[in-house]
Amino acid sequence: MTQPPYITPLTPLAFLERAATVHPEKTAIRYGERSLSYAEFAEHTVRLAAALRASGVGAGDRVAYLSPNTPELLIAHFAVPLAGASLVAVNTRLSPEEVRYICDHSGAELLVVDTGLQETVLPIADRLASVREIVSLVDRTGTGLGAGAPPLLPGPDYEELLSRGDDDAAQGWTVDDELDTISVNYTSGTTGRPKGVMYSHRGAYLNALGEVIHSRHTPDSVYLWTLPMFHCNGWCTAWAVTAVGGTHVCLRTVEPESIWRLIESESVTHLNGAPTVLVMLANSPAARPLARPLTVTTAGAAPSPAIIGRMEELGASIVHVYGLTETYGPYTVCERKEAWTDAGPDELARLLSRQGVAMVQADPIRVVDADMRDVPKDGRTVGEVVMRGNTVMKGYLNDPEATAEAFTGGWFHSGDLGVWHDDGYIELTDRAKDVIVSGGENISTIEVEQALLSHDQVLEVAVVGIPDDRWGERPKAFVMLKHGAALDGDSLIEHVRSRIARYKAPAVVEFVTELPKTATGKIQKFELRAKEWSGQERRIRG
């Protein structure tokens, strides 16, 4: 069916156009002593979009950013698609080779690098296949690690890039096709190489509105950027807060004392983050009862009832959501029910720790068996969680085989296992794969094992997640050495850190003489994991 000409494509670009028209003088972004109104936010966006076009960036191209949560990365969420391109916000915790892979795989034309992170790019600067220019961005406003570092990379600085364009916004705040790719977000590589997840303008628009509704944003919202913008475009919150004309408070480094200070000094009303952020906040010496309402939206690992209870004791209202990179971030929400009003604190926290029901912008979620039949809603029968709809990815960039596999039977297969309760709420019980969720980031055990096995003295390995008070869980490696080898754990961990991102390296190495195996020689990781989690409940991604 042909769409009538008076129906315009959905795009989050319209959110900034509206905010700049309705709230031109209102503060849009605060960052230390720096402040931008919505009119200035829009002006910066138009200028950057024009500069990108003048630099040869056009429709279908990709522009990569390696940056903390600064105003420039927030502006890029609007300016890059305004130029007709797709934003690739790169995980700031990755190793040089991982950054190179993402730039090459995405075909990024430009790479904008905060100079505080340039040490990651220096070793690969001359080996980027598609990047024509590396642009150095000096953060002269923020405080924290790397702020204000002088540029060392080849290529222009950010001010020089901006000088190339004019302020011509003649193309307008719209797109020709709402299914064009607005961004490409890379998975954490839970099965090896990360995949490029393509978001459409339509999906981003709708998911942002879902965030507005379920996180209860209003024009009075003051949102603190504790969640990385590189992670699912900050769960689409970059667009959501702008949609209602709220205020973004950017934060370069996530430190609990700084967060508590900003909550008070900036009158913060909302923040998002993995449960590990909640643990840091609740256990910080700066923790104190909140002077005003604070909505905390959490996901990335299922929050324990204990941490939910503690945050609510401090006065925070917890919104628990669940999703994946492939679903624009949050897809379900543990919606509070009136019937829970009389529940005691422990029971309420337990109810809130479930993954819940589909958000308002999403299709109903299902838990299915191997034949794609719904499992009984008995809270006991385990099945796989599947999704579909407007806020499920377009597909994996340049990977039609993986896309087809992910959508077997016409639904996106999450790989997460769960149960369906009689009230329609889902609850995850395990993962189909041995993914470790550490601080909200997925770690592939296969990737870690391969890094361990690259050491010439290692014979066999098995990696599992073990409990960690701060990060939820961290990798532990069980290692068999070759006969006659002499190697200590610290040296092996350093070897792994030279191969992959440091946060993926094992926290502990245990040398063993044998590993539990099946008759066919397959290592039985569940036996190793069971011993490590004895007496504790292993909670998983939320």
pLDDT at 529: 87
d(CA 425, CA 323): 14
Confidence of residue 292 (pLDDT cuts 50, 70, 90): very high
Say which residue, 465 or 441, is predicted with more confidence. 465
Distances (CA, A) of 25 to 15, 19, 20, 22, 71: 16, 10, 8, 9, 17
Burial bucket for residue 370 (CB in 10 Å: 0-12, 13-18, 19+): exposed
Per the CB < 8 A criterion, the answer to whether 118 and 152 are in contact is yes
pLDDT at 168: 60
Question: What structural domains does the chain harbor?
Answer: 13-253 (3.40.50.12780), 364-431 (2.30.38.10), 436-532 (3.30.300.30)
Say which residue, 526 or 62, is predicted with more confidence. 62
Q: Which residue has the tokens 């075909």?
A: 107
Confidence of residue 541 (pLDDT cuts 50, 70, 90): very low
d(CA 61, CA 81): 10
* Other beta carbons within 10 Å of 93: 17
User: Taking 50 as the threshold, does the pLDDT of residue 542 lie above it?
Assistant: no
Confidence of residue 432 (pLDDT cuts 50, 70, 90): low
pLDDT at 318: 93
pLDDT at 476: 95
Average pLDDT over residues 130-157: 95
pLDDT at 399: 97
Tens digit of pLDDT for each residue in 245-290?
Answer: 999 999 999 999 999 999 999 999 999 998 878 888 988 899 999 9
Tens digit of pLDDT for each residue in 457-493?
Answer: 888 888 999 998 888 899 999 998 988 888 999 999 9
pLDDT at 191: 47
Query: SS3 of 235, please?
Result: helix
pLDDT at 32: 94
User: Taking 50 as the threshold, does the pLDDT of residue 521 lie above it?
Assistant: no
pLDDT at 276: 77
pLDDT at 538: 63
Average pLDDT score over the chain: 91
User: Taking 80 as the threshold, does the pLDDT of residue 540 lie above it?
Assistant: no
pLDDT at 433: 62
Say which residue, 311 or 442, is predicted with more confidence. 311
d(CA 85, CA 107): 12
User: Taking 50 as the threshold, does the pLDDT of residue 518 lie above it?
Assistant: no
Tens digit of pLDDT for each residue in 318-355?
Answer: 999 999 999 999 999 999 999 998 888 878 888 888 99
Average pLDDT over residues 305-326: 90
Average pLDDT over residues 527-540: 77
Q: Which residue has the tokens 């479930």?
A: 354
> Looking at this protein, which amino acid is placed at residue 303?
P
pLDDT at 519: 38
Tens digit of pLDDT for each residue in 366-375?
Answer: 999 999 999 9
pLDDT at 480: 87
d(CA 475, CA 528): 12
Say which residue, 436 or 132, is predicted with more confidence. 132
Tens digit of pLDDT for each residue in 82-95?
Answer: 999 999 999 998 99
Say what percent of the chain tops pLDDT 90: 71
pLDDT at 171: 64
Confidence of residue 301 (pLDDT cuts 50, 70, 90): low
Tens digit of pLDDT for each residue in 182-241?
Answer: 999 998 754 468 999 999 999 999 999 999 999 999 999 999 999 999 999 999 999 999
- E strand residue ranges, 325-471: 329-333, 357-358, 366-368, 383-387, 395-396, 412-420, 426-431, 436-438, 441-443, 458-468
d(CA 4, CA 132): 40
